Amino acid sequence: MTTTSLERATSEVAEEDLERMALEQKDLLSEFKDYKVGREGPLTNKMMADQGFPGSSAKRFQKIGRINGYMREFNGSSTSGDGTNFMAATVVHLFDSPESVHTWMHDVFLHDFEENIGTKLDNEQELVAVERLEPKGFFDEAVALKALHNEDDKLVSVTIVDFRLGRLLGVAFVGTHGDHQRLDLATQLGTALEKNMVRIALG
């Protein structure tokens, strides 16, 4: 499939398709087979802004071209040993164009994380460090990072992969106790999400 044909296919995607694109429990890697659904639901621009870094606004996201999104998160056991993965999630965002997806990946995702190192978030987590990563194996453009947070004097890492599929943005992330990078796992989760997005976009 060419980039042009993929853009044509995603141009027909509607907001109600996003829920079916986000991975369900049966679609997860064996690593997460015992995880249970945690947070799940639509992600409007207002919700993204409310949960985002200081200065985020629904108007800013709308201006970039973001329309809506859907998230499905899975949580593991309460074990908090260093190196234990405790969360996996996928998100699908709908934009008005592939160019808007590119802008978001660089001017919102990467930019906002890197600009907010040292910031305390509303959930009392402090963003301690950000490391850019290089994901491979996706159909089109992909970027990634590891964000290290301090919560109640305990370190938590989240490895996040963003990839473009026409006017869709797919996101896969893995949360881990301690200072650990999980690019391989997040990439595997992301490529599974990408396949599901393509399947639904093609009808």
Domain boundaries, the chain: 3-95+107-162+171-180
pLDDT of residue 129: 98
Architecture of the domain made up of 3-95+107-162+171-180: 3-Layer(aba) Sandwich (3.40)
Query: Hunting for tokens 């999400």 — which residue is that?
Result: 193
Contacts of 118 (CB under 8 A, 6+ apart): 126, 127, 128
Contacts of 65 (CB under 8 A, 6+ apart): 95, 96, 97, 99, 100, 101, 103, 104
Question: Mean of the pLDDT values across residues 135-140?
Answer: 96
CA-CA distance, 87 to 5, in Å (whole number)? Answer: 34
Confidence of residue 186 (pLDDT cuts 50, 70, 90): very high
How many CB atoms are closer than 10 A to CB 160?
Answer: 25
Q: What is the pLDDT of residues 105-125, one digit of tens each?
A: 999 999 999 999 999 886 678
Instruction: Check pLDDT > 70 for residue 2.
Output: no
How many CB atoms are closer than 10 A to CB 120?
Answer: 12
Q: What is the pLDDT of residues 4-36, one digit of tens each?
A: 777 788 888 999 999 999 999 999 999 998 999
Question: Mean of the pLDDT values across residues 61-87?
Answer: 93
pLDDT of residue 152: 85
